[in-house]
A = this chain, B = another copy of it.
Amino acid sequence: MVEHNFHQQSHSFVKLVIFLCLLFLSANISVEARIRHYEWEVKYEYKSPDCFKKLSISINGKTPGPTIVAQQGDTIVVEVKNSLLTENLAIHWHGIRQIGTPWADGTEGVTQCPIVPGDTFVYKFVVDRAGTYLYHAHYGMQRQAGLQGMIRVSLPDGVLEPFSYDHDKSILLTDWYHKSTYEQATGLASLDFSWVGEPQSILIHGRGRFNCSIPSIDPTLCNATNPQCTPYSMTVVSGKTYRLRIGSLTALSALSFEIEGHNMTVVEADGHYVEPFVVQNLFIYSGETYSVLIKADQDPTRNYWASTKVVSRNSTTPNGLGIFNYYPNHPRRYPPTVPPSGPRWDDVAPRMAQSVAIKSHKDFIHAPPLTSDRVIVMLNTQNMVNGYVRWSVNNVSFNMPHTPYLIALKYNLLHAFDQTPPPDNYDHKNYDIFNIAPNVNATTSNSIYRLKFNTTVDIILQNANTKNPNNSETHPWHLHGHDFWVMGYGNGKFNQSIDPKNYNFVNPIMKNTIPVHPYGWTALRFRADNPGVWAFHCHIESHFFMGMGVVFEEGIEKVGKLPTSIMGCGESKRFHRP
């Protein structure tokens, strides 16, 4: 009996142990699955992405870097080791709102000091919403040296998307210069101004094709047979449907992307579901992401061109070409057709039409607040400041302070930057947006917009003529730390008493990057509900470098203790213990 009892107890005990082990294991598995740990070494390497050999920045040997694949709610930990020898770095996680971790936004001068060579910086943040996002350098013009990649966040297990597909693929579109970022930046920042010019190539997921037979090209540097510049090829099976996630991190170029002979159904934009609509070509601006569905429904005995064309600029850059490969055709077999020529570069109407067409999916509408607490109108202009060519917002050209704002504000170091707030408007009565300003001079400042916490803010991006006659450019603006509602677009000058009446309160899409079209305006609304300091800027690398950006502060008093890892420059060098 005792023995029996003991046996029973023993049996129960074994069951308990097994149960506890399973519990522990499952808990452990679950925890392991929710922390995605990456170790990245960032360094310069010679690469030939378009057959032309030049220094590029790589992550673990790859340019563009590895795609981060995660699930909604996961914590991403990226240990970034700077092996750039003498150059610092910072990496921004584009589209990730960094709720509760504003110090991990990776924006040099705004949220952190740069990571110096030899140091390892740990970015740790939660990806709290499924969707397609990006990452890239946010320091000087470092992004266009190749330090960039994609983030793909899937839904929680058992949650379904409002569309179906057989396979999930991703491509990153970039443009590529043969000059170093040092050469480009020096030209831009000189009194003897020299413009970076049009990029040499458009890359589809890091692959392009420069014409090595141009006589002035050093043949030892350009090799058309280099496997690194084999065109990007996406293999499909006839009859299947593909979700293609497309991100753009061009330095300069607005792009049109198409797959010859195939329709694309737009279903996601910047991590938000879109009420589906069909396009033959997708316009995509730097900093944007889209998902499109493509059905492999054409003649499967051949391949088709994937083509990217520069729009909005009369660019000399050849179209970027890839191959849409029907299995079992050879993935590098060229299609029998002439590549599609794409839309006219200077036709704004279809681009505006696509912008307007992007609405929130009807089952996923986040209703915007009906009113806003503050309206900031931002006139986008090209200017001169002390003889330098600059870009400005309301005639103020942005420059970075020496102490990152997040540190300066948290420690109340108000002398670290200009405390005069930048203007909320421009002289809209008298300013002629269709002509060159009579006085193109602007001022420069590192002052910021301080937003009242938990208020609703409207931003009107107002485009204008540049310093050249009959020229107005497209500027893709990106907001850190938030998504915004896209309330409306228009041509010409925004009218504050009329245009808000036409805002879309029904189904506005939420995005983090949005174009303002030539001579047009774009209206955004967002909630200032994420404690931190956030950049909002034109995503064209040279434009932000030349001052086309602003910074918002909200709820700084709610920001937790800053990690010491973001310190080390400006005033924070003097936070010294011993």
- A: residues with CB less than 8 A from B are 43-46, 55, 85-89, 109, 113-114, 116-119, 139-142, 180-183, 185-187, 189-190, 192, 216, 218, 400-402, 411, 564-565, 567-570, 573-578
Which of B568, B570, B574 touches A573 (beta carbons < 8 Å)? B568
A-B contact pairs, 9 of them (CB 8 A): A55-B182, A86-B142, A87-B182, A113-B568, A117-B140, A564-B574, A567-B573, A575-B575, A575-B578
- Known interface pairs A565-B573, A567-B576, A577-B575; A44-B186 also in contact (CB < 8 Å): yes
Q: Is the CB–CB distance between B568 and A86 below 8 Å?
A: no
In whole angstroms, how far apart are the Cα atoms of A183 and B183 in the complex? Answer: 13
Residues on B with beta carbons closer than 8 Å to the beta carbon of A119: 402, 569-570, 573
In whole angstroms, how far apart are the Cα atoms of A190 and B53 in the complex? Answer: 15
Which of B88, B89, B139, B576 touches A564 (beta carbons < 8 Å)? B576
Residues on B with beta carbons closer than 8 Å to the beta carbon of A140: 85-86, 117
In whole angstroms, how far apart are the Cα atoms of A119 and B400 in the complex? Answer: 12
Given contacts A44-B182, A119-B402, 10 further A-B contacts (CB under 8 A): A43-B186, A46-B187, A87-B87, A118-B400, A119-B569, A180-B182, A182-B182, A564-B573, A565-B573, A568-B569
Residues on B with beta carbons closer than 8 Å to the beta carbon of A576: 564, 567, 575-577
In whole angstroms, how far apart are the Cα atoms of A574 and B218 in the complex? Answer: 48
Residues on B with beta carbons closer than 8 Å to the beta carbon of A187: 46
In whole angstroms, how far apart are the Cα atoms of A114 and B192 in the complex? Answer: 29
Q: Separation in Å of the A251 CB from the closest CB of chain B?
A: 15
Q: How many copies does the complex hold?
A: 2
In whole angstroms, how far apart are the Cα atoms of A1 and B186 in the complex? Answer: 79
Q: Is the CB–CB distance between A139 and B86 below 8 Å?
A: yes
Q: Is the CB–CB distance between A45 and B190 below 8 Å?
A: yes
In whole angstroms, how far apart are the Cα atoms of A46 and B411 in the complex? Answer: 39
Q: Is the CB–CB distance between B55 and A186 below 8 Å?
A: yes
Residues on B with beta carbons closer than 8 Å to the beta carbon of A43: 186
Q: Separation in Å of the A183 CB from the closest CB of chain B?
A: 6
In whole angstroms, how far apart are the Cα atoms of A142 and B86 in the complex? Answer: 8
In whole angstroms, how far apart are the Cα atoms of A564 and B564 in the complex? Answer: 15
Q: Separation in Å of the A400 CB from the closest CB of chain B?
A: 7
In whole angstroms, how far apart are the Cα atoms of A411 and B576 in the complex? Answer: 13
Select from chain B the residue with minimum beta-carbon distance to A188: B85
Select from chain B the residue with minimum beta-carbon distance to A576: B564
Q: Is the CB–CB distance between B575 and A186 below 8 Å?
A: no
- Known interface pairs A85-B185, A569-B568, A573-B565; A190-B46 also in contact (CB < 8 Å): yes
Q: Separation in Å of the A154 CB from the closest CB of chain B?
A: 34
Which of B55, B185, B569 touches A118 (beta carbons < 8 Å)? B569
- Known interface pairs A186-B55, A569-B568; A411-B116 also in contact (CB < 8 Å): no
Which of B46, B55, B116, B401 touches A114 (beta carbons < 8 Å)? B116
In whole angstroms, how far apart are the Cα atoms of A85 and B180 in the complex? Answer: 13
Q: Separation in Å of the A564 CB from the closest CB of chain B?
A: 4
Select from chain B the residue with minimum beta-carbon distance to A181: B86
Q: Separation in Å of the A243 CB from the closest CB of chain B?
A: 36
Select from chain B the residue with minimum beta-carbon distance to A545: B85
In whole angstroms, how far apart are the Cα atoms of A507 and B351 in the complex? Answer: 83
Residues on B with beta carbons closer than 8 Å to the beta carbon of A574: 564
Select from chain B the residue with minimum beta-carbon distance to A121: B573
In whole angstroms, how far apart are the Cα atoms of A142 and B87 in the complex? Answer: 11
Q: Separation in Å of the A64 CB from the closest CB of chain B?
A: 18
Q: Is the CB–CB distance between B411 and A578 below 8 Å?
A: yes
In whole angstroms, how far apart are the Cα atoms of A183 and B47 in the complex? Answer: 12
In whole angstroms, how far apart are the Cα atoms of A569 and B218 in the complex? Answer: 40
Most buried by B among A85, A141, A181, A182: A85
In whole angstroms, how far apart are the Cα atoms of A567 and B578 in the complex? Answer: 11
Residues on B with beta carbons closer than 8 Å to the beta carbon of A118: 109, 400-402, 569-570
In whole angstroms, how far apart are the Cα atoms of A156 and B113 in the complex? Answer: 45
In whole angstroms, how far apart are the Cα atoms of A497 and B105 in the complex? Answer: 64
Most buried by B among A116, A181, A190, A218: A116
In whole angstroms, how far apart are the Cα atoms of A180 and B55 in the complex? Answer: 10
In whole angstroms, how far apart are the Cα atoms of A87 and B182 in the complex? Answer: 9
Interchain residue pairs A-B with the least CB separation, the first 3? A568-B568, A86-B140, A564-B576
Q: Is the CB–CB distance between B116 and A46 below 8 Å?
A: no
In whole angstroms, how far apart are the Cα atoms of A402 and B568 in the complex? Answer: 13
Q: Separation in Å of the A147 CB from the closest CB of chain B?
A: 11
Select from chain B the residue with minimum beta-carbon distance to A577: B575
Which of B87, B182, B577 touches A577 (beta carbons < 8 Å)? B577
Which of B89, B116, B139 touches A568 (beta carbons < 8 Å)? B116
In whole angstroms, how far apart are the Cα atoms of A576 and B573 in the complex? Answer: 9
Q: Separation in Å of the A394 CB from the closest CB of chain B?
A: 24
In whole angstroms, how far apart are the Cα atoms of A558 and B393 in the complex? Answer: 54
Residues on B with beta carbons closer than 8 Å to the beta carbon of A86: 87-89, 114, 139-142, 181-182, 185
Q: Separation in Å of the A423 CB from the closest CB of chain B?
A: 25
Residues on B with beta carbons closer than 8 Å to the beta carbon of A216: 218
Q: Is the CB–CB distance between A116 and B117 below 8 Å?
A: no
Residues on B with beta carbons closer than 8 Å to the beta carbon of A402: 118-119
Select from chain B the residue with minimum beta-carbon distance to A120: B402
